[in-house]
Amino acid sequence: MSLGTSVLKTPESSRPGTSAGSSSPDLLSTIDILPKRPEAVHTRSTDSQSTTLPVPINTPEDDPPNKPPFSIFTNLQKHLITLLAAFAAMFSTLSSFIYYPALVPISTDMGISLTLVQLTITSYLIIAGIAPAFMGDMADTSGRRPVYILMFSLVITANIGIALQNSYPALLTLRMVQSAGSSGMYGAAYGVVADIAEAQERGGLVGVLLLMTDVATSLGPVIGGAVTQALGWRWIFWFLVILTGSHFVIMLIFFPETQRKIVGDGSVKPRGWVYQSVFSVLKRRKREVVSVGEKNGHSAVDEVLEQKKTKRGFRFPNPLACLPVLANKGSLAVIVITAINYAVKAALQTSLDAQATEIYGLNYLQAGLVYLPSGVGGGFGSFFAGRFIDWNYKRTVKRLSEANGGKEYDKNSPDFPLERTRLRGVYTLSTITVLGIIGYGLALKFRAHLAVTLTMQLLTGTSTAATFTLCGTLLTDLNMNRSATAQAASNLVRCLSAGGAVAILQPMVERVGPAGCFGIYAGITFVSIPLAWALQTFGVEWRRSQPLVAGI
């Protein structure tokens, strides 16, 4: 059975009686970047009567044996790589939340108003929305490792500067530099997941990524409060220097380049020291010693890879590269759902410290501890949502196959019900979030026991984190060729939305009270339900009319 035009032709050099030299042009014309497996490309009719179901391809017995994997990395290596990227992504959230307990001490120590110190939070959020537009484009065009090196350099330098400075302009400027470096790590981590994971395993890895960021949400204020109370606020940033510096060294030693435009499935050796980890260099040298016995030291594929190696010149990042993502209906809907939940969650957690101190009379360390329920719930929500996404994806593929005579379906088809599959359960999660926000506002209004307030934070933290996992996985699926750029677009919208939600929080509480304020936020969150319905209903049609990438 024919598989279409994407089937790799057998190299002439592998056929009896054919010389290797005559086969190179044919081989080069059929191999691009050594994808994980030759994808079956089907020809879909443009007739309006064509089916909207995924198009069946060859049955398993017709499949070519020993298909190459999507990535050469083992399952263990994929999880380790994801953990390294997730821990780096955590620094954006950690650098933000660890700062909250230090606001009053910084104001007192530097002799400035609390309003001016809070301005450094606003500036941090603004840069966190803008900087990933640059970093994401760089990560998608120049590779993951060079961008990580740049981002870690900015973060470490900024943390050292903040710990040593004594002027407000320096504090404001360095906080923006800190944000510029750390915020891009979140989008880069999504790009790494897209590089190494197939659709059926992507949800679990995204869950691991969001688990780390949710841990930072809860642990950040606890660490900040404890360090400030014991050693002073400057030691918060010395702590960040030690933590980020240590992880930077680990990344330099072990983290491989994963950008598929540069290394393909991971088997292509990139040129330039910046793309190669210390571990990969040592491992490759050992492999080269073992393969000395091959003819001329190279196989036919090795010759192709040698010709594919080219130096990638630096291109100044284009911050407008994320605009095509926002212009895509499906991607925009996912981003808006994410932004709504993120903005409301930011408002809830910003209010928690002030309300806990004012209503319940907690000290700085105790006020930091009240963030734990939301963070713990978010960690569980992210982890189990990721597992559910992978399970549901495999179940959907199996169900569609069984409904059509056991034939395998092309999961990369524009007709695959991707949006409905990835967002299954989102209505339940949104309902829990809405009810949790309303309950939180009522608990503050009637000064209920602290346990009630924290229970509402636990519910909203769990449901919003699970929603982020669903939406983050879907956004990566929809933008496989520019996953980091897509997350930069999402970051831009959600950070600006969060900045606005936090800015109007206190005036709203003073004007309509906590119950009315969070009732409004609950109403805003409810908007995500019809958005999710529209995405599940019209998502397939939007992908056919606005193709952004090829495959998931």
| 321 pLDDT higher than 90 | no
Closest-CA residue to 330 (of 42, 52, 549, 50): 549
Confidence tier at 283 by pLDDT (50, 70, 90) = low
* pLDDT over 80 (residue 10): no
> What is this structure's pTM?
0.70
CA distance 333 to 470: 13
> Considering Cα of 213, then 219, then 223, then 229, what sign does the dihedral take?
positive
Q: Give the residue with greater pLDDT, 134 vs 244.
A: 244
Strands (E), 57-156: none
Question: How confident is the model over 120-130, as a mean pLDDT?
Answer: 83
Amino acid at position 400, single letter: L
Region 469-489 average pLDDT: 85
pLDDT category at 171 given cuts 50, 70, 90 is very high
Instruction: Write b or e for each residue in 478-512: b if 16 or more Cβ atoms lie within 10 A of its Cβ, otherwise e.
Output: bbbebbbbbbbbbbbbbbbbbbebbeebeebbeee
Neighbours of 70 (CB within 10 A): 19
Residue 232's CB: how many other CB atoms inside 10 A? 13
Average of per-residue pLDDT across 203-225: 82
So what's the pLDDT on residue 149? 94
Least confident residue range of 32-46, 143-157, 255-269 = 32-46
Q: Are 521 and 351 in contact (CB under 8 A)?
A: no
- 3-state secondary structure (DSSP) of residue 488: helix
Mean pLDDT (the chain) is: 78
Please provide the size of the chain in residues: 552
Predicted confidence at residue 51, as pLDDT, reads 41
Find all residues with CB under 8 Å of 75, minimum gap 6, and list them.
none
Identify whether the C-beta of residue 314 lies closer than 8 Å to the C-beta of residue 272.
no
Task: Locate 216 and state its tokens.
Answer: 């930072």
Say what the pLDDT of residue 22 is. Answer: 38
Pick from 89-93, 208-212, 455-459, 522-526: least confident: 208-212
Compare 54 and 325 and report the one with higher pLDDT: 325
Looking at residue 316, its pLDDT comes to 61
CA distance 133 to 126: 12
As a whole number, mean pLDDT of residues 424-437 equals: 96
